[in-house]
Structure 1
Amino acid sequence: MKSFKYVLLALLLSLNLGVAQYRSAADYTGPNNSFKPGEWLKFRIHYGFLNASYATLHLTADTLRGKPVYHVVGKGKTTGFASIFFKVDDTYESYFGVADGRPYKFIRNISEGGYTKNIEINFDHQSEKATLFDKKKGKSMQFVFNNGIQDLISGFYFMRNNYSAEELVVGKSIELQMLYDDDGIFKFRLKYLGKEVLKTKFGRVECLKFRPYVQSGRVFKEQESLSLWVSNDQNKIPIRIEADLAVGSIKADLEGFNSLRNQFKIIMD
């Protein structure tokens, strides 16, 4: 059950990958296309046959250092029988610009089966440097980045608002830059696989399917073990995530939502 600590990470990483191509902050089209303050998403995560946990994302309007920003809080906890074997209580937060979608502050405060981590990253876009402070160890480090960097949460909202389904090409891969931990800036590759209709608790939903490339071996069974389905509408929210782990499998489904910017499209028979 130790692999379960990667459930929430796999979910949040996947959220950032529903994109057509890489865009910089200069291409940001504003916040009113795909989301709005008050949006709340809930995901139910299964590990094998267990209903292992729930994860939520809540977006609100805020200010940071005199700038209007969006503040997103992502939370995840194990529930029921799964929490007996491996208890997870994770919180992720991101503050990103209303006008440009750039990340300004990121927080990762996690407790996973006795392993804890509490870090804060502050992004200075004038100097193009990010300062990471490890609150547990009392240490800090700096990373140099270029225009377009995102954190784990801000990238989700930035990309939702900056791609069109018409731009996608089946089989084409793209890359995304991200900084969320002391491992530094890294890239993900993502392949678009086409459209697919999924049966969900809400009805049948047309989705765009993606295949993120992940590192095989320690956590995931194969390099292409992770699949993501994103709603093919203006909301562009994750509908389902599936992954084959080195031991077992994960499935995350959209369980609930509130205050979407646009109508959630259901296929009516």
Structure 2
Amino acid sequence: MKKYRILMASLMMVMAVAAHAQCAFHNDAFKSGEFLTYNLYYNWQFVWVKAGNASMSTVQSRYNGHPAYRASLTTRGNNRVDQMFVLRDTLLCYSSLDMEPLYFRKGAREGKRYGVDEVFYSYHDGKVKLRQHQLTSSGEHLWAHRTVSHCVYDMLNIFLRARSFNPEGWKSGHEIDFPIADGKNISPARLRYSGKVKIKADNGIKYRCLKLSYLEKEDGKYKRIVDFYVSDDKNHIPVRLDMFLKFGAAKAFLVSMKGLRNPVTSAVR
């Protein structure tokens, strides 16, 4: 009887670990202390103008008392562009050291509208539990609670995970489907690979890059949200981003990078 209890306790422990690790993924692309900066450009009446800057940082932190990665992405428009529209976005996410999503927040001021989306993740009995919160531009707080049997991501956590994808053997048109959560819904999303290109960053260096597109399903069709050009090395650093916004198109070009995990072997001299 004692051996039976020990066996059952051991099985329960294994099941608990498996449930928590069901959405784990190996990270070999970044480390704590990575910091990237970008120049932003906006297409205004068929002319690309300097719109501001963006930065992304990833550090090891703690979430609910446990070690975790904290990543943040901020975009800031300059005074010149503020006269046309106001762009103030801040994205924040936490993930476990095994790349499981733990938390996501997006605070966005675009034009005269400001809103907040939050997603809280927890893992129990092989299920993923989500608490979703949305602060609308009218000041209304909306909450949703969902339990699903598959892994769910948000637009920043999936980006961290995708940086460790191994593209060897991928052909142009290769697609990866996944569910994406915001403060209100869970929607189908897709990552599409479109081959290799050379991209010149705003630091004056050209890089061999992989072209990836992030698409979300809208009215039954997939719509491109962002094209990522990431370095063709183990870091998979975003060298250029083409963003398709509600109020136009914007681009971001890499200016500087520090704290990388791997050598930059994609630079073209």
Output the TM-score relative to the length of structure 2: 0.77
Tell me if 1:46 matches 2:45: no
Q: Structure 1 counterpart of 2:33, which letter?
A: G
Pair 1:167–1:177, CA change in 2 (3 A): farther
Structure 2 runs not aligned, ≥5 long: 1-20
Return 245-254 or 58-67, whichever deviates more: 245-254
**The residue matched to 1:82 in structure 2 has which SS?**
helix
- Between the aligned partners of 1:229 and 1:89, the Cα distance in structure 2 is 23
Per the TM alignment, residue 148 of structure 1 is displaced from its structure 2 partner at its CA by 2.3
Is residue 53–residue 78 contact of structure 1 (8 Å, CA) maintained in 2?
A: yes
* 2:61 alignment counterpart: 62
Higher RCO (Cα < 8 Å, 6 or more apart): 1
Is residue 109–residue 116 contact of structure 1 (8 Å, CA) maintained in 2?
A: yes
Is residue 207–residue 230 contact of structure 1 (8 Å, CA) maintained in 2?
A: yes
Alignment of 1:40-189 (within 5 A): 40-48=35-43, 49-98=48-97, 100-126=98-124, 127-135=127-135, 136-161=139-164, 163-182=165-184, 184-189=185-190
Cα deviations across residues 147-203 of structure 1 (Å, max 9, x unaligned)? Answer: 321122111111212x21213122222212211231x11122333221112223342
Cα deviations across residues 44-93 of structure 1 (Å, max 9, x unaligned)? Answer: 22112211122211111111122211111221111131012211222211
| Sequence identity (%) | 23
- Between the aligned partners of 1:101 and 1:28, the Cα distance in structure 2 is 5
Is residue 46–residue 252 contact of structure 1 (8 Å, CA) maintained in 2?
A: yes
Q: Structure 2 counterpart of 1:122, which letter?
A: F
Q: Structure 2 counterpart of 1:236, which letter?
A: H
Per the TM alignment, residue 245 of structure 1 is displaced from its structure 2 partner at its CA by 6.5
Q: Structure 2 counterpart of 1:229, which letter?
A: Y
Q: Structure 2 counterpart of 1:206, which letter?
A: R
Is residue 202–residue 266 contact of structure 1 (8 Å, CA) maintained in 2?
A: no
- Between the aligned partners of 2:71 and 2:155, the Cα distance in structure 1 is 11
- Between the aligned partners of 2:86 and 2:118, the Cα distance in structure 1 is 23
- Between the aligned partners of 2:104 and 2:245, the Cα distance in structure 1 is 27
Pair 1:143–1:157, CA change in 2 (3 A): same
Pair 1:233–1:84, CA change in 2 (3 A): same
Pair 1:103–1:88, CA change in 2 (3 A): same
Is residue 214–residue 226 contact of structure 1 (8 Å, CA) maintained in 2?
A: no
Cα deviations across residues 196-227 of structure 1 (Å, max 9, x unaligned)? Answer: 1222334221111234445689xxxx956853
Structure 1 runs not aligned, ≥5 long: 1-24
Is residue 37–residue 60 contact of structure 1 (8 Å, CA) maintained in 2?
A: yes
Pair 1:80–1:191, CA change in 2 (3 A): same
Is residue 194–residue 208 contact of structure 1 (8 Å, CA) maintained in 2?
A: yes
| CA-atom RMSD in angstroms | 2.8
Is residue 39–residue 258 contact of structure 1 (8 Å, CA) maintained in 2?
A: yes
- Between the aligned partners of 1:109 and 1:140, the Cα distance in structure 2 is 16
- Between the aligned partners of 2:106 and 2:168, the Cα distance in structure 1 is 34
- Between the aligned partners of 1:137 and 1:57, the Cα distance in structure 2 is 29
Per the TM alignment, residue 252 of structure 1 is displaced from its structure 2 partner at its CA by 1.8
* 1:261 alignment counterpart: 261
- Between the aligned partners of 1:139 and 1:266, the Cα distance in structure 2 is 45
- Between the aligned partners of 1:176 and 1:251, the Cα distance in structure 2 is 25
Output the TM-score relative to the length of structure 1: 0.77
Q: Structure 1 counterpart of 2:183, which letter?
A: D
Is residue 226–residue 242 contact of structure 1 (8 Å, CA) maintained in 2?
A: yes
- Between the aligned partners of 1:27 and 1:119, the Cα distance in structure 2 is 22
**The residue matched to 2:168 in structure 1 has which SS?**
helix
